[in-house]
Amino acid sequence: MNKLLKNVLILCCLSFAINSSIAQSSNATYIKAGKLFDSEKGKILTDYIIKIENNRITEVGKKVVVPENAKIIDLSAYTVLPGLIDGHTHLMTLDNLNDDTPMADKLLFEGDALRVLRGSKRAKSWLENGFTTVRDLGDSGAFLDVALKRAINEGTVVGPRMFVSGPIIISEGGQVPGLVKSYREVISDEYTIVRSVDDAINAVRVHVNYGADIIKICANNSPNNTSLTIDEMKAIVKMAHRYDKKVTAHATNDLAVWEAVTAGVDGIEHGYQISDSTLTLMANKGVVLVPTDLSRPLFHKLYDIIDFKWNREKQMQRAKDRYQDRLQRAIKAGVTIVTGSDNYLDLEMPQGEAAKNILVAYHEEGMKPLQILSSSTHLSAKFMNKENELGIIKEGAFADIIAVKGDIENDFSNTMFNIVFVMKNGEIYVEE
Count of other CB atoms within 10 angstroms of residue 430 = 16
**Which of 305, 383, 384 has the alpha carbon at shortest distance from 98?**
305
Q: Contact, 129 vs 83, CB < 8 A?
A: no
Q: Specify the residue, 83 or 340, whose C-beta has the smaller distance to Zn ion.
A: 340
Sort strands 191-193 and 246-251 into parallel, antiparallel or unpaired. unpaired
CA distance 94 to 88: 14
Helix or strand (DSSP H, E) at 93: none
Interface mask toward Zn ion for 295-334; x: CB under 5 A: ----------------------------------------
- Three-class secondary structure of residue 194 per DSSP: coil
Q: In the set 38, 136, 342, 365, which binds Zn ion (CB under 5 A)?
A: 342
Q: Least separation, in Å, of the C-beta of 382 and Zn ion?
A: 21
Count of other CB atoms within 10 angstroms of residue 414 = 13
CA distance 239 to 84: 30
Helix or strand (DSSP H, E) at 268: strand 267-270
Q: Least separation, in Å, of the C-beta of 93 and Zn ion?
A: 9
Contact region with Zn ion (CB under 5 A), list: 50-58, 59-67, 152-160, 341-349:
341-349
Q: Specify the residue, 342 or 387, whose C-beta has the smaller distance to Zn ion.
A: 342
**Which of 194, 189, 190 has the alpha carbon at shortest distance from 219?**
194
Contact region with Zn ion (CB under 5 A), list: 176-184, 214-222, 240-248, 336-344:
336-344
CA distance 204 to 223: 24
| Angle CA 223–217–184, to nearest 5 | 55
Question: Phi-psi bin for 392: left (phi > 0), alpha (psi -120 to 50), beta?
Answer: beta
The site that binds Zn ion (CB under 5 A) totals a number of residues, namely 1
DSSP 28: -
Determine if 145 is a binding residue for Zn ion (CB under 5 A): no
Q: Least separation, in Å, of the C-beta of 250 and Zn ion?
A: 6
**Which of 39, 80, 84, 86 has the alpha carbon at shortest distance from 378?**
39
Residue nearest to Zn ion (CB): 342
Q: Least separation, in Å, of the C-beta of 269 and Zn ion?
A: 6
Contact region with Zn ion (CB under 5 A), list: 151-159, 204-212, 302-310, 339-347:
339-347
Q: Least separation, in Å, of the C-beta of 88 and Zn ion?
A: 6
Q: Specify the residue, 52 or 361, whose C-beta has the smaller distance to Zn ion.
A: 361
Q: Least separation, in Å, of the C-beta of 348 and Zn ion?
A: 20
Q: Least separation, in Å, of the C-beta of 235 and Zn ion?
A: 23
**Which of 206, 199, 213, 201 has the alpha carbon at shortest distance from 145?**
213
Contact region with Zn ion (CB under 5 A), list: 59-67, 342-350, 370-378, 414-422:
342-350
Q: Least separation, in Å, of the C-beta of 9 and Zn ion?
A: 54
Residues from 214 through 243 that contact Zn ion (CB under 5 A): none
- Which residue ranges make up the site for Zn ion (CB under 5 A)? 342
